[in-house]
Amino acid sequence: MLEIMEILRKDAHATPERISDLTGIDVERVRAQVAAWEQQGVIRRYKAVVDADRLREISGEQLITAFIDVAVMPARGLGFDDVALRISRFPEVRSVYLVSGAQDLRCVVAGRSMHDIADFVAQKLSTIERVTATATHFVMKTYKDDDELYAAPIPDRRLPVTP
């Protein structure tokens, strides 16, 4: 059944018929499995992967992404969960992860400018009780995101074979 999930993860538009063709699993079984995963919350939603550089080229719209590492003083009985949930409720925040290493949380934040993200850090994130430090890393260029390769395809330089 993980074959079905992998196909949907790479292409949310894949129809049950297409998945059946690719996996050999009966179409009705594919439909039932996907419906069950949706109902159980395994499949949370279907989404688009946006190329921010291409969006800027085409429309002039700017979308800046930053990774923000956050140090948190854990609370007895709560750990980091309450702070992580509070951070995750801000509309600028795309993802929040509990991580190992020097910092405790890693947040993915999006905004229209570096200034917007800096304001978010200064006015919202750093003012949360028990947040002791932040480190902001702006994304300069994306090479691969959510399994989507952003680099131009390498041209095929092989000589054609003719019969």
Mean pLDDT of the chain: 92
* Alpha-helical regions (H) of 52-108: 52-59, 81-88
Q: d(Cα 64, Cα 55) in Å, to the nearest integer?
A: 11
Q: What is the pLDDT of residues 15-36, one digit of tens each?
A: 999 999 999 999 999 999 999 9
Q: Tens digits of per-residue pLDDT, 38-94?
A: 999 999 988 887 888 888 889 988 889 999 999 999 989 888 999 999 999 999 999
Each domain of the chain, given as residue ranges in start order, spans 2-40, 52-140
Pick 52-140's CATH classification: 3.50.50.60, 3.30.70.920, 3.40.350.10, 3.10.150.10: 3.30.70.920
Q: Please give the Cα distance from 120 to 133 (Å, whole number).
A: 14
Mean pLDDT of 97-126: 96
Angle CA 152–155–160, to nearest 5: 160
Q: What is the pLDDT, as a whole number, of residue 108?
A: 97
pLDDT score, position 78: 87
pLDDT of 159 > 90? The answer is: no
Reported as a pLDDT band with limits 50, 70 and 90, residue 129 is: very high
Return d(Cα 5, Cα 105) in angstroms, integer.
Answer: 28
* pLDDT score for 56: 82
End-to-end CA distance of the chain: 41
Is the Cβ–Cβ distance between 117 and 92 less than 8 Å? yes
Q: What pLDDT does residue 48 have?
A: 82
Select the highest-mean-pLDDT range: 7-16, 41-50, 103-112, 137-146.
Answer: 103-112
- How much of the chain exceeds pLDDT 90, in percent? 67
Q: Residue 128 pLDDT more than 90?
A: yes
Residue 153 has pLDDT above 80, yes or no: no
Residue 120 binned pLDDT confidence (cut-offs 50, 70, 90): very high
